[in-house]
Amino acid sequence: MIPRKAPRPLDGQLYTDPAVFDEEMKRIFSRMWVCGGRLEELDEPGRFATREIGGESVIAVRTAARDAGVGSNGNGTAEGTTQELAAFFNVCRHRGSRVVDECAGRANVFQCPYHAWTYGLDGRLIGAPHMGQDFDPNSAGLVPVRIGALHGFFYLSLAADGPSLAEVAGDLPDLSRFTLGRLVRGDRHEYEAQANWKILCENYNECYHCAVVHPELNRVSDYRNGGNLETGRFFVGGPMTLNDGCNTMSATGRSNRPDLPAIEVTDRTSVQYYHVYPNLLISLHRDYVVTHTLWPIEAGRTRVVCEWLFDPEVAAAPDFDPSDAVDFWHLVNRQDWEVCALTQLGVASRGYRPTAYEGSEACLQIFDGWYLDQMGL
């Protein structure tokens, strides 16, 4: 079912009430496939990353080497990786201690720091000191979490059932021409925005604010240059056209980097912007891709991971310099987080009376409608 359009902007309580935030974690982040990050974070056996999702800590790990020849298929979905990836609740089966305290690393096994119960990379309990012969270790492995790979990203789902990741992939627009599965990270910045996660999503989904908040961006891509709206069960987005003489998003609007190998002619004069629900914001340029993954901390705070992705041959060149793209979006990010923090303060006021959307805020209106559907409002 295509999400409905919200009739007006959301009430302030939905951004500020801790009880609403807790319900979002249950209804949205604990039920959906959440983008965990780039697969290159799990690039070899034993490489792991932990993620906080819906109030839960999850371990994602690569358990085995990739088979020779395994790459990505035509739509950017990594093949063969389901068997090579595993994820678990980060909870020891003995007395509940966190097993892993690091954000990322490499391990041969996972050992609980409390009583040294030890688990293999596949989650099996392989060591439990002094438990005796009557204890069955096969009944005490780490509790699994669903994990899958798509477009060079890994996704996690706390839900034991619901849509498969393949069903999500089938709903998304065709992004195969951007060869997302083969791109590599050129840089990464992490931020903490003093705003609700939905405010960040709404900000991404409209450019009504761009002329005022982002004069540097507006000189490259005018805020009125939006293209056709695209939407589905799991995403919303569409293109923005670059201004005459510009070929990418940078301070000058120009870049000498070659095009990504399979892009179309129209991609040379536009940028594709998509929000994959709930937490991936992806902006696709002719020569690079920038992503934001959102990690709600509490009602008024959100951790944001921003990554810049490039063709591997370009990134391997001795003179590779991503700073034009990185510096540009770092500026835009800081401008956005500032105005989003002001919005967080405003929606908390008893004087906030939401009125109406402006015509160019169609993506925002779709996102708000999707949110109301997920929350049963």
Residue 199, pLDDT above cutoff 60: yes
Residues β-bridged to residue 72: 78
Contact 162, 224 (CB under 8 A): no
Judging by DSSP bridges, how do beta strands 230-231 and 235-241 pair with one another?
A: antiparallel
Tokens at 291, concatenated: 């992503």
Can you give the pLDDT at residue 251?
96
Taking residue 290's Cβ as centre, other Cβ atoms within 10 Å add up to: 24
Domains of the chain plus CATH, in order, are: 1-31+175-377 (3.90.380.10), 34-162 (2.102.10.10)
Q: What is the pLDDT of residue 83?
A: 63
Give the DSSP H/E element, type plus range, for residue 346. helix 323-347
Residue whose token pair is 């020891």: 92
Tell me if 153 sits within 8 A of 36, measured CB to CB.
yes
- The whole-number pLDDT of residue 80 equals 42
Bridging pattern class, strands 85-89 and 56-62: antiparallel
Check whether 62 has a pLDDT greater than 80: yes
Exposed, middle or buried: residue 348 (CB in 10 Å: 0-12, 13-18, 19+)? middle
pLDDT (mean) for 177-185: 97
pTM over 0.85: yes
State the pLDDT confidence band at 27, using cuts at 50, 70 and 90.
very high
pLDDT in tens, 128-176: 999 999 999 999 999 999 999 999 999 999 999 999 999 999 999 999 9
Q: Scan for tokens 């690039």, then name that residue.
A: 43
Mean per-residue pLDDT over the chain, rounded: 94
